[in-house]
Amino acid sequence: MKIELVENVLKANDELAALNRKQFSDAGVFCIDLLGGPGCGKTALIEATLQRIGYAGVIVGDLATQRDAERMARFTDQVVQINTGKGCHLEAHHVMRAMSRIDLSRIDFLFIENVGNLICPVGFDLGQHVKVGMFSTTGGDDKAAKHPYIVHESNLLLLNKIDLLRHVPFNLAVFRGDVRRLNPTVEMLELSALTGDGIEQWVAWIDQQREHWIGRKAVL
């Protein structure tokens, strides 16, 4: 009974997600779902990215406050904040509703900043083209091993706050080894949203993925 209910919820979510994805693809909008724990630097990364690419929109999920939307509104007017209350992840219907407030004809990229949570958002398709999982050096080198689900499901894994590496106990070889063991083919990038280290590689990855999924390059 309980399992059936959960399956129905996921099935309904998948159907809406497929509609979202079709709408994004038809409009030539490449959509990224960015997932990571609270404080890993998702908002800072999107801010740094918006300063390097034009024509981008953001849908940002949080339990409460408009703070992230306010931060990103400095760089684009296509921003929608979703407050989930006690909800621990975004679902496809959130994104569908938020899309009605975004002019898809004016953007090439859409970033969905999921609720800060390494666990629950992973299982919900939102209609994105790619999922990007984010860790940080300050979160400890054991977090990939402890969160295998996000490592399996991500198209790209980011390790942020690489600038703080010398101040924290974090063994890069351990982290990389855990990722490789869990997902031998996933791409990895190390960067600092704060200092800008690695951001060019990240932007290049986005652009290349957009070409793959949408069929043409954006004007970067």
Q: What is the C-alpha to C-alpha distance for residues 54 and 220, in angstroms, rounded to an integer?
A: 7
Q: What is the C-alpha to C-alpha distance for residues 6 and 70, in angstroms, rounded to an integer?
A: 35
59: closest CA among 103, 24, 102? 102
Take residue 16 and report the two structure tokens written for it. 């809406």
Q: Toward its own copies, which CB reaches closer, 168 or 172?
A: 168
Q: Which of 38, 181, 196, 211 binds its own copies (CB under 8 A)?
A: 38
Q: Toward its own copies, which CB reaches closer, 63 or 104?
A: 63
Contact at 8 Å (CB) between 19 and 127?
yes
**183 lies in the site for its own copies, by CB under 8 A:** no
Q: Toward its own copies, which CB reaches closer, 69 or 98?
A: 69
**63 lies in the site for its own copies, by CB under 8 A:** yes
Element (H, E) at 57: strand 56-62
Query: How many residues lie near its own copies (CB under 8 A)?
Result: 39
Q: Which of 3, 11, 26, 86 binds its own copies (CB under 8 A)?
A: 86
Contact at 8 Å (CB) between 62 and 68?
yes
Contact at 8 Å (CB) between 121 and 59?
no
Instruction: Supply the minimum distance, in Å, between the C-beta of residue 117 and its own copies.
Output: 6
**186 lies in the site for its own copies, by CB under 8 A:** no
**73 lies in the site for its own copies, by CB under 8 A:** no
Contact at 8 Å (CB) between 42 and 34?
yes
**145 lies in the site for its own copies, by CB under 8 A:** yes
Largest CA distance in the chain: 51
By CB under 8 A, the residues from 115 to 134 that bind its own copies are 115-120, 122-123
The binding site for its own copies (CB under 8 A) comprises: 1-2, 5, 37-40, 62-65, 67, 86, 88, 115-120, 122-123, 136, 138-140, 142-143, 145-149, 161, 164, 167-169, 194
